[in-house]
Structure 1
């Protein structure tokens, strides 16, 4: 047990050293010190381009500081702990999405995730694939998990909020509609939750005014490269018009309340680090400053995850 503790302590020290070195070399390597907050990897129900371990190794090789593993159907805190121990030299975190496969709005699942060995489970996503919002579903009857009813959070959300606040986890709004997210952010803040991210808000139809309001309420707004991929021969290209609009939106909200990540892992799409690299390059090409990129790709994600930012 003592030996295992020394090994894990070594992994943490190695991760901190790599981060410090990455901060010094950000100009030569745009990925140095970055954190990808939205990574899909295998094993999964759907096919994925990389396994957790292969992704951690690749992200480390490319100088990234950390990754957050997301799965729509199962907890990833245990997988993040395994990757931390196996790969070392990179921060790996996980979480849980409150879809039907984990019992929906199941506060006990959050508590168990937070208590998992290594305490790498940091994020609680509200329903995604099972959200009531028909964001990625065709017409027709289906089972879903409601989070808002009659203009207020459903009763089950009270215990969910309590579990997140007590364990100092990060609340993500999942695939909730912008109107639902505004209601949830207000209620979450009232319940004592200090870290909130609006999951790919623009993709879910939030207006600039709504995103500014969410940020003013204390939430961070997430922008994912997968949302901006152009349907061209070069699979790493971003839709130029959409990326230019993304820059304008981030500037309108304020970079101090935004994060960027990949939302990649789908077969046929770029690998996660390639997506992050392309995203940063496209933002720069559209006039975003190094200071703002440092905030949205490095400092803000680190702050949310409880990592040093200086």
Structure 2
């Protein structure tokens, strides 16, 4: 494993228990990270809060740091500030805006031929005039109160940028969730705009591993935005995907071949994630 990954954090990984099959559980992830020399992870679930799970891992693996949070899909009441507050009180470090129940995401699935798509329960972030709805603003205010990060989830780029602009006014740290993913892709100019407003741009190995976004495209977007405004993760957890630690290593190798130095990779894999999660040493 490259030196840039010693003490690195995985900022986007799905583990079990979950409502869908996952590559491994929380405990196996922690054991693998300990053996690989990684520092910890931000655990994500589309349908349930992971703050308590992270707290239990931290009790069992004192040398590692885990964090969790809540995703605002219908299972927690959608854009529900009370769910955000509850997560924050349990130590949740992030709130993700809707993912699987985002209207934009469901429309993307429908356009790409996914069967059984039902848009009746989809969650909107903007009103008919393109403004953030009051519930979205209340979520941002609650996230600010509990010092939680804000992930854009699977909302569209237009919705995500609206969250970035509002978040900048409120004082929230917003992360563009897998900004290169075709389901919610942000153009390079949109990524630059978000970064200029203080947002962090996330790139996940998932899109490159599954041949949806070439590594050359990822590299060009990182160079355009600046390594200091980027974090790198995997978005793994699918049974057919590599383990998260394997994915991080593969991603680092591919980006090194694109010309990124160990120091630059260390910033995106380790330093900025540690700062965002409050785990700076």
TM-score (ref. length: structure 1): 0.84
Q: Which has the larger radius of gyration?
A: 1
1:95-110 paired onto structure 2 within 5 Å: 95-110=69-84
RMSD value, Cα:
1.6
- Give the whole-Å Cα distance in 1 for the aligned partners of 2:136 and 2:161: 14
The number of equivalent residue pairs is 271
1:206-245 paired onto structure 2 within 5 Å: 206-230=186-210, 242-245=214-217
Specify the SS of the correspondent of 1:64.
Answer: coil
Whether 2:262 is the aligned partner of 1:290: answer: yes
- Give the whole-Å Cα distance in 2 for the aligned partners of 1:192 and 1:277: 34
- Give the whole-Å Cα distance in 1 for the aligned partners of 2:267 and 2:102: 30
The answer to whether the Cα contact below 8 Å between 1:222 and 1:259 also exists between their aligned partners in 2 is: yes
- Give the whole-Å Cα distance in 2 for the aligned partners of 1:206 and 1:147: 17
Give how far 1:293 is off: 0.5
- Give the whole-Å Cα distance in 2 for the aligned partners of 1:30 and 1:293: 6
Equivalent of residue 153 in structure 2, options 174, 182, 199: 174
Deviations 1:220-252 (A, max 9, x none): 000001111146xxxxxxx8x811221111011
> Structure 1 regions of 5+ residues with no counterpart?
1-25, 232-238
- Give the whole-Å Cα distance in 2 for the aligned partners of 1:37 and 1:134: 21
Counterpart in 1 of 2:46?
Answer: 72
The answer to whether the Cα contact below 8 Å between 1:53 and 1:87 also exists between their aligned partners in 2 is: no
Give how far 1:137 is off: 2.4
Give how far 1:306 is off: 1.4
Specify the SS of the correspondent of 1:96.
Answer: strand
- Give the whole-Å Cα distance in 1 for the aligned partners of 2:177 and 2:126: 16
Equivalent of residue 35 in structure 2, options 61, 74, 77: 61
Whether 2:178 is the aligned partner of 1:200: answer: yes
Specify the SS of the correspondent of 1:279.
Answer: helix
Counterpart in 1 of 2:109?
Answer: 137
Equivalent of residue 93 in structure 2, options 122, 133, 139: 122
Specify the SS of the correspondent of 1:133.
Answer: helix
Specify the SS of the correspondent of 1:226.
Answer: helix
Counterpart in 2 of 1:8?
Answer: none
- Give the whole-Å Cα distance in 2 for the aligned partners of 1:141 and 1:85: 41
Counterpart in 1 of 2:247?
Answer: 275
Higher relative contact order at CA 8 Å, sep ≥6: structure 1 or structure 2?
A: 2
Whether 2:143 is the aligned partner of 1:164: answer: yes
TM-score (ref. length: structure 2): 0.92
Counterpart in 2 of 1:148?
Answer: 126
Counterpart in 1 of 2:114?
Answer: none
* 4+ aligned runs moved over 3 Å, structure 1: none
- Give the whole-Å Cα distance in 1 for the aligned partners of 2:134 and 2:83: 17
